[in-house]
Every structure is written in structure tokens, then in C-alpha cells.
Amino acid sequence: MNRYPRWPVHLALIMASFVMLVPFYWVAKTSVSGENIYAYPPSIVPAKAQPFFYVDVWYAIPFARYFLNSVAVSVIAVLANVIFNAMAGYALTHGFRGKNVVLMLFLSCMMVPFQATIIPAYLITGRLGLLDSWLGLALPQCSTIICIFVFKASFDAVPRSLIDAARIDGLPEWRIIWHIMMPLSTSAIATNVILAFIWSWNNFLWPLIMTRSADMQTLPLGLARFLSYQEDTTGALYAFCIMVLAPGLLLFLLAQKEFIRGLTSGATKG
């Protein structure tokens, strides 16, 4: 039985949600109305809602091509993240000489911003012959340390006896990961998928540096290109933002339960 009324908590949460959601609502409203954001008095409901700014965006730039590039790069990044991070996370659940050094190295690497390593990343990608390609666009995001720790936390929660039993049955390590650890770590997988997708989807700097042809640009670069094309951008710009945001939002809404469980599994396990 609750000793305290819950409504103050709900009220605070509703107010916080309101503050968070108002900018999204404003972007969506402007994308269908084209109203200037500085208009006074501001209108809460769009006066003449119409979808034509979305049509403008679709034809102003090669949206379908940019969308395909973004999807391809994100899919590569997501698959690579799930595979490589799972392998790394599984390795970190074992005791081995120098494990603490590796963990400290990982943690310290998290503090190095990508901007600091972008030149070596560019040179390596160039040496591999992957400049201006989907794989090259996805390469620096094929594994992320945060997601390795998400897998590690999830794998740590799997009883050791289960892994030992699998070993006694003769399963090789990769099959232990694939057939035992992964099915028990759906939340960690969802977290990896969402984070890798959103980071890859929203990435601007790396595609800006390494793409050479207009055909290989991704949606964030398309947004910059679109801004340079259009003169009156209010409605179309916001429509573009919605079109770029929609896939990430949809993915998050689809997998939010697993995502939140994945992020909290390390914190709440016994």
C-alpha cells in the first residue's frame, strides 16, 4: 500500500513530458503549416495543414537515394555492432590476464572524442579503399564501447553454470554466444540496435569528411544541401527534419520496452 499520493509524481512527469514534447510538436506543426516560428501570437493548432512541404523535400534533393544510403549504412552499423559487441562483451565476462587493463583502456577510450581520431580514421578507411562507400561510412561505428558494456552487463547476468553445461556438451564458444547468450540478452540486443541505428543515422561529421560523390551522401548531409538550395525553408525544412527523424523514432517506439530493460539490466541485477 502506498503511503504517499502518486499524483504529484504524475504531475511532475506530465510537466516534464510536456516540456520535452513541445519542440517535437512545434516541428511537426510547422512542417504542415509553414508558419514562421517567430510569428506572434503563436498558433497552437496549424491554421491550414497540408502535406505539400513533404512533397517539396522529396523532389528538391535526391531524397530516396540519401534515404537508401542512410538505411544501408545504419544496417551495416547495427549488424556489426550486435556481432562485434556481443563477442567483445562475452570475452569480458571471462577472467583473463590483463582484463582490468583492457577494461580501463575501454573506459579511457570513451573519453576521447571522435573528432580527435577522425584523421587516423580517414587514413585507415582510405588505405582500405573504402572511401565513398557504404562500408566506409559505417566503419568507425561498427563497434562502440558503451554497447560492449551493455552486452557485458547482460552476459554477466547469465548463470555461469549454463555456460559450463554448454561447454561440457561440447559447444564451441561462438555457438555459446549465438545459441545461449544472445537469446537470453534480447534487451541488450535491442539497446545495441537502437543506439547503433540512431548514432549512425544522425552522424554528420564522418559522412561529410569521407564522401566524395553526391550519390553517397546521407540524410544529415542532404539536410545541409537542402538548406543551401531552398530560399524559403520554413515549412520544407521542418518537413525534412520530420522525415529524417521518423525512422529513428519508429524504431525506438517499436523497441522501447527492450531498450529500457537493456539499459537498466546492469543496474538492477542482483
Partner 1 sequence: MRRILLNRFVLVPGVIALATLAWNLYVASHNHGLVTGRVIDAKGEPVADASVALWVYNFTTYQEQMHVKTDSAGNFRFTDNPSHRIQLSAEKPGVGRSERVPVFLYFRAEDFSLDAPLKLARGE
Of residues 154, 162, 139, the one with CA closest to residue 190: 154
What one-character-per-residue DSSP string does 82-118 give?
Answer: HHHHHHHHHHHTS--TTHHHHHHHHHHHTTS-HHHHH
Write 260-267 long-range contacts (CB < 8 A, 24+). 261/187, 261/190, 262/150, 262/154, 262/187, 262/188, 262/189, 262/190, 262/191, 262/192, 263/150, 263/191, 265/153, 265/154, 265/157, 265/187, 265/188, 266/149, 266/150, 266/152, 266/153, 266/154, 266/156, 266/157
Quote the least distance from Cβ 14 to partner 1, whole Å.
Answer: 26
Nearer to partner 1, 107 or 250 (CB): 250
Nearer to partner 1, 60 or 102 (CB): 60
Quote the least distance from Cβ 144 to partner 1, whole Å.
Answer: 22
Nearer to partner 1, 54 or 149 (CB): 54
- Residue numbers at the binding site for partner 1 (CB under 8 A): 50-52, 55-56, 59-60, 229-231, 250, 254-255
Nearer to partner 1, 61 or 148 (CB): 61
Quote the least distance from Cβ 253 to partner 1, whole Å.
Answer: 9
Nearer to partner 1, 9 or 246 (CB): 246
The C-alpha cell of 103 is what?
A: 577494461
Quote the least distance from Cβ 165 to partner 1, whole Å.
Answer: 28
Quote the least distance from Cβ 240 to partner 1, whole Å.
Answer: 15
